Structure 1
Amino acid sequence: MHHALAIPEILHSIFSHLEQTAPERDVAFENSTVFPILGPEPIPPEKGNGAALANAARCCKAFSIPALDILWSHQKSILPLLKILPSFKKSDENRKYMLTDMIQEYQFKRLQSFASRIRSMERYKVDSIDDLVFLQITELLKGQPLTPMLHTLTFPISNSIFLLISPRLCNITVVRQLSANKASILLQSLICKSPTLKNFSSFNCDMFSLNPSNWATLARLEHLQSLEIRNVLELDKNGLCMVLGMQQLTKLSLSFDQPIPQFTLPPTTQTYALRVLVLSAQTHFVKGLLACLVATPLTTLRIVYEDSGDIAYEESWLARLAVIAHWSDSLSELELQDPDVDGSGRLGVDSGVVRDISVLDPLLKVRGLRKLIFRPNITFDFSDDDFGRLARAWPAMEYLHFDLWGGIKVPSATFAALDAFVTCCPHLHSLSIRFDASRLPPSPRITTHRLRYLYIDYPIVEPINQVARYLDALCPVVAWVDGSDSLDITVAAQNGIVVGAPVDFFGKRRWNEVADMVKLCQVGRADDKQRHKLVTRGFLL
């Protein structure tokens, strides 16, 4: 059965395509230095069709309603809405926005007609607005929300945020610092006015540290499904237990700005729906929290072990992974990393080259793993056999990144490592590993694997054309190829390259050449395929 669209629906669909929105980014782990390998970061396009939508709104009444709906659906400030009021002006004395006259009823109805179109609002700084503006608007609203259709709000704590809370609000992100009183009032307002709130995020370090009882208040949002608290300074144990016991909470994300004292959570903490856990904390807190969640079938774990200055060798990682192995039957996504001590994207202490990968044995039990990002402060040197063992252990793998710290003159792994993942992981679409791509097998192997993104964490010297040919044969639809741009001095000297300032450029240029050659191979194959079709149809002699 088909449904024919009405004319207003057709116009709305057409105008929706005029509005450009920023594409979503696949960020592996917020506030971390995990290597994001889904190709170059997309650049959000400017909203360049606002003028076209505005002209459509002025054209006729039939065009006006859908065009205005789209123009006003997303706002980056409350100021454009308030500027509809003729008496809303900026004072020359204190540079604050204020009302120069009382709001008339017809003016307020016009304001409401535009406010009802707003679906999301995103603002990261407090607008300088006189409090009397909010008092007048609140009086005219008579208990009704200003933006009744608002479902997503990113806003700093200010008096204006209380006007924007509505029954339809599903997602709220609180930014900037605030007082303990305002934090408590905000949470109480959400409980009363937005009881069906599903996602709550706070980037404010004072929201729960100044008033620990806010943890318990937060637990009263019974329909909350996702909770993200950044920059936690203090933690209320009882409040955290209440949060873990929320019946619909499926995702919990906590990051700590400073060390917290050790404490023990009740081992029988009841969790109902929790499936995703994101932690950036010291090892003792991670261990304690995971210990009380052993009976919870977690599907996603993202952990940064924030033990500043504490270098975790193989024994420490073996203990960490042994704990995580408790979820071998349920885990599908796992991200683990050590802190970035020197802030440069690589850890600043060399723990030596490790060729024994038995530390990873607990992970081999997680057979259903689809995504793994592993960034330890250990310099692993995997061999071809090691990579083959890992590939066979994770047949469902789709996204695998070993972002290993430290440099190796010549990795033990060769091109055969990539072949192992192509053979054993048919669904793999993004891969980052370290191997020497210049050490090729006797002949290329042709496959139809769907790998799209490949990062090789080792510079290439020669032979570029052969590497490109082998990559194209093994991964015929790869869209993005890149590699390490730091060329080791020893490797450069062995190949007769004068090292110096251009070394990094040389390494990057070589990988750029490989990527260009792979694209040429793909274009050539496409041309041959098209030519073959024409020949079989008798169009070419």
Structure 2
Amino acid sequence: MHRSFRIPEILDLIFVQLQNRHPDLHYFGPESRDQLNQSLGRRDFAALARTCKSFQGPALDFLWREQETLTNLLKTLPSHLWKEETRNPWSRRPSRFLHILGPIQPTDWDIPLAYAHRIQRFELRSQMESEFSVQLVDVFKIISSGLPREHLCPNLKDLVFDVVELPDYVVPYIRLFVSPEILNATIFLRSHRPLLPGLPIQYPQLKSLYVNTRFWEDEPMYLDILSTIALKLYRIENLTLHKLDRTAILHLARLPALKSLFLRDLRDLGPLPHFHSQSNSQSPLFPALRDLFLHATTIEFAIEVLHLLSDSLLVDFHVGIPDPATKSYTRRLYVALASHLSHSALRTLSVELPADCEVPTPPGDNASYVIDGHILATLFCFPNLTELSLAPPVGFDIDDATAWDIARAWSNLKSLHLTAATGLHHSTRMSLHGLRAFAKHCPKLTYLDITFNGAISPPFENSPEISQTSLTSLEVGTSPITDPFAVAQFLCGLFPNLETIDSLDEDEASDMDNGLEDDDSRFSRWKQVEAMLLNSKSTSAGADLYAS
């Protein structure tokens, strides 16, 4: 045998090539387990391990390194201890179940545990296990009662523990899989009650921790428990939790390796000391942080957090504001963003409604919530933005001049989303001429969501001097329109590759007290524009529109 094959790294590269014969198959449901095994080349590796002594160890390592079911491991138990049953074999999706037939003695574990030593990544998903192979509730009990060592897979580094379909009482069995070597843990639970008080994880070693549940309860004790978990993390790089208190956030701010932080709910933290005094700390805060996602919070707390970010080179920042904020509060937030975030590093900025929330109707005069060009200009200091999404309660007051200012300030944009968080869309002063600004100054823009007045069509030019070929999707919101053909002519010349135009449809508009008339006609007119643009692509690049 060539000596090169004795180098583990070279064998690994060869095995990766064998395994990647079907790179498009990323997820396999219970009905495609045979397809998965074929795709991963498992039969090939098993044959190699059986027939070539020199390759046996490396082939077994590669064969067992990543597992997505307990079945493979349990089937290495003595054959008299298990039985596989196929149900509905005539069905297009037959179900197969593995039954453990009796108690497992310590000596019965010799072979399974030898293979378990080789497992470094385990994806345990109740949706797959319960439908395909084993009844996890029973198997967990059997393993726990007879396992001769503390951890099933002592060398496990990556764990996905998804038991949302199972009763809460199975959650403590996670201890069977959380070894001292664990680096990355992704945990999905039905609820958080059985887990949080004693999560059996070697906190100091973790680099990535994601904890989410189907049902959350906003009780003070769970804020304390989650914060206690965070305070035990020292090497964490990526963290996703429901909520944290200020003490835990300050602890995370001092960690040297934290790159990504996702916090779901930061609204009720109580009258604790604010962060402002910490911003003058001698040691940099959040020195490695690049992605920060505050799913639902208040403007006041978002501003507090921003005071901790002056030393970081944040690339992506998202903040969700579920309550309507007046223009004065929004101005304060924009000023804080401009004051504390890196002007050159920031690429993605999102200040909008959380995805699972509905903003209540703003009290008082709508004019108190409209964001004008002067307030928006506060954010022009971020020239390298590629994605921007802003959604104040009733939208923006933008005219053509402001549109040109926006396009010049953010010329690197690929996606721009300027809309209203509620149905009270402020009437726009921007005309179709304002779209020229984005065609001229934003060559990479592929998605644009902005409201403008399409009812006044500009004079059509047979050879438009401005043409931008990147834009493929246009969201027009409540933009008025009277002449679909004239608008289609204009857009076809300005954005020749535009494919989709979306506006608020009749149902959406009827839910909004926006005072617009003839919403159904407006929606259908924009759909006519879309149809004409698509038709023009099949007739000599829009020659039919120009000829008319």
User: TM-score when scaled to structure 2?
Assistant: 0.71
Kindly provide the amino acid, as one letter, of the partner of residue 314 in structure 1.
K
Give matches, 1:229-244, under 5 Å: 229-230=241-242, 232=243, 235-244=244-253
1:314 is aligned to 2:327: yes
CA contact (8 A) 1:281 1:306 kept: yes
- How much has 1:335 moved relative to structure 2? 0.8
Q: Is the contact made by 1:397 and 1:428 (CA closer than 8 Å) also made in structure 2?
A: yes
Equivalent pair of 1:98/1:132 in contact (CA under 8 Å): no
Structure 2 match to 1:12: 19
Q: How far apart in 2 are the matches of 1:473 and 1:106?
A: 74
Q: Give yes or no for contact 1:370–1:396 (8 Å, CA) kept in 2.
A: yes
- Partner AA of 1:134 in structure 2: I
Shift of 1:303: 1.2
Q: CA deviation at 1:365?
A: 2.1
> Which amino acid is 1:364 matched to?
F
Alpha-carbon distance change, 385 to 71 in structure 1, aligned in 2, over 3 angstroms: farther
Aligned letter for 1:524? T
For 1:425 and 1:298, the matched residues in 2 are separated by: 23
**Runs (5+) with no aligned partner, structure 1:** 23-45, 91-96, 490-494, 529-541
Q: In the alignment, is residue 458 of structure 1 matched against residue 478 of structure 2?
A: yes
Question: Measured at CA, do residues 104 and 518 of structure 1 come closer, stay the same or move farther in structure 2, by a change above 3 Å?
Answer: farther
Tell me, in whole angstroms, the C-alpha distance in 1 between the residues paired with 2:140 and 2:67. Answer: 24
1:522 equivalenced with 2:521 (yes/no):
no
1:468-487 correspondence runs (5 A): 468-486=488-506
Q: 1:183 touches 1:207 (CA, 8 Å); kept in 2? A: no
Residues 162 and 189 of structure 2 are in contact (CA less than 8 Å); yes or no, is this contact kept in structure 1? yes
Q: 1:240 to 1:356 in 2, by over 3 A?
A: closer
Residue pairs, 1:63-462, within 5 angstroms: 75=68, 87=81, 100-102=102-104, 109=111, 113=115, 119-121=121-123, 123=125, 127-129=136-138, 132-136=141-145, 138-139=147-148, 141=149, 143=151, 145=153, 148=156, 150=158, 152-155=160-163, 158-166=171-179, 167=181, 169-179=183-193, 182-183=195-196, 185-186=198-199, 188-191=201-204, 195-203=205-213, 209-210=221-222, 212=224, 215-230=227-242, 232=243, 235-256=244-265, 259-263=268-272, 264-265=274-275, 266-267=277-278, 268-269=280-281, 270-271=284-285, 272-279=287-294, 280-307=296-323, 311-326=324-339, 327=341, 329=343, 330-337=345-352, 347=361, 351-353=365-367, 354=370, 356-404=372-420, 405-407=422-424, 411-444=428-461, 445=464, 447-458=467-478, 461-462=481-482
- Superposition deviation, residue 401 in structure 1: 0.2
* 1:375 Cα offset (Å): 0.8
Q: Counterpart amino acid of 2:320? A: V
For structure 2, list consecutive stretches of 5 or more residues without a partner in the other structure: 1-9, 49-58, 85-98, 131-135, 165-169, 511-515, 544-548
Q: Give the Cα–Cα distance (whole angstroms) in 2 for the partners of residues 21 and 425 of structure 1.
A: 37
Q: 1:73 to 1:483 in 2, by over 3 A?
A: farther
Paired amino acid for 1:177: S
CA shift, 1:399, in A, is: 1.5
| Higher relative contact order (CA closer than 8 Å, sequence separation 6+) | 1
Partner Cα distance (1:507, 1:380) in 2: 20
Note if contact 1:145-1:164 (Cα within 8 Å) is conserved in structure 2: yes
8 Å CA contact 1:134, 1:159 repeated in 2: no
More deviation, 107-116/353-362: 107-116
Distance 1:527 1:340, change over 3 A: closer
Distance 1:4 1:521, change over 3 A: farther
Q: After the TM superposition, which of the residue ranges 124-133 and 423-432 deviates more from structure 2?
A: 124-133
Question: Contact (CA 8 Å) 1:219, 1:246: kept in 2 or not?
Answer: no
The answer on whether the counterparts of 1:56 and 1:63 sit within 8 Å (CA) in structure 2 is no
Q: Please give the alpha-carbon distance, in whole angstroms, between the structure 1 residues aligned to 2:490 and 2:222.
A: 59
Letter in 2 for 1:429: T
Deviation, 1:402, is 0.7
Separation in 2, partners of 1:315, 1:177:
39
Report the Cα distance in structure 1 between the residues aligned to 2:174 and 2:374, rounded to whole angstroms.
Answer: 53
C-alpha distance in structure 2 between counterparts of 1:422 and 1:398, whole Å = 12
1:532 matched to which residue of 2? none
Note if contact 2:484-2:529 (Cα within 8 Å) is conserved in structure 1: yes
Answer with 283-292 or 317-326: which moved more: 283-292
Deviation, 1:429, is: 1.7
Residue aligned with 2:501, SS: strand
Change (3 A) 1:381 1:74: farther
Cα pair distance change 1:439/1:151, threshold 3 Å: farther
**Contact 1:351–1:377 under 8 Å retained in 2:** no
1:420 positional shift:
0.9
Q: d(CA) in 2 for partners of 1:285 and 1:227?
A: 19
How far apart, in 1, do the equivalents of 2:493 and 2:47 lie? 54
Q: Give the 3 Å change call, closer, same or farther, for CA 507–209 of structure 1 in structure 2.
A: farther
Shift of 1:111: 8.0
- Matches of 2:63 and 2:398, distance apart in 1: 53
Q: Deviations over 1:373-423 (max 9, x none)?
A: 101113423211121111111112221101224456963212122221111
2:167 corresponds to which residue? none
Q: Is the 8 A contact 1:315 1:359 kept in 2?
A: no
In 2: Cα distance, 1:315 partner to 1:437 partner: 30
Q: Name the SS of the counterpart of 2:144 in structure 1.
A: helix
Equivalent-residue separation in structure 1 for 2:32 and 2:141 (angstroms): 35
State the alpha-carbon separation in 2 of the partners of residues 322 and 290 from structure 1.
Answer: 10
Q: Which one-letter code corresponds to 2:227 in the other structure?
A: W
Asked if structure 2 preserves the Cα contact closer than 8 Å seen for 1:460 and 1:511, the reply is no
Distance 1:134 1:207 in 2: 34
* 8 A contact 1:351–1:378 mirrored in 2: no
d(CA) in 2 for partners of 1:5, 1:163: 28
Map Cα deviations across residues 162-218 of structure 1 (whole Å, 9 max, x no partner): 2222535424234333447x4354254344xxx253343444658993473653553
SS in 1 for 2:496: coil
How far apart are residue 432 of structure 1 and its match? 0.5
Q: Per-residue deviation at 1:478? A: 3.0
User: Are residues 345 and 478 of structure 1, via their aligned partners in 2, closer, same or farther at CA, if it must alter by over 3 Å?
Assistant: farther
State the distance in 1 between where 2:31 and 2:492 align. Answer: 38
TM-score, normalised by the number of residues in structure 1: 0.72
The answer to whether the 8 A contact 1:336-1:373 is kept is yes
Shift of residue 430, structure 1, vs aligned partner? 1.5
SS at match of 2:312: coil
Render the CA deviation track for 1:66-115: whole Å, top value 9, x for unaligned.
9x98999574x75786587674699xxxxxx9763225856763587589
User: When the two structures are aligned, how many residues end up with a matched partner?
Assistant: 473
Please give the root-mean-square deviation of Cα atoms over the aligned residues, in Å: 4.5
Asked whether the equivalents of residues 414 and 437 of structure 1 are also in contact (C-alpha less than 8 Å), the reply is: yes
SS at the partner of 1:159? helix
User: Structure 1: which amino acid aligns with 2:199?
Assistant: L
2:21/2:39 contact within 8 Å kept: no
Q: Distance in 1 between the 2:223 and 2:371 partners?
A: 49
**Following the alignment from structure 2 to structure 1, what is the Cα–Cα distance between the partners of residues 391 and 426?**
20
- Give the C-alpha shift of residue 325 in structure 1: 0.9
| Maintained 8 Å contact 1:350/1:406 | no
Question: Identity of paired residues, percent?
Answer: 18
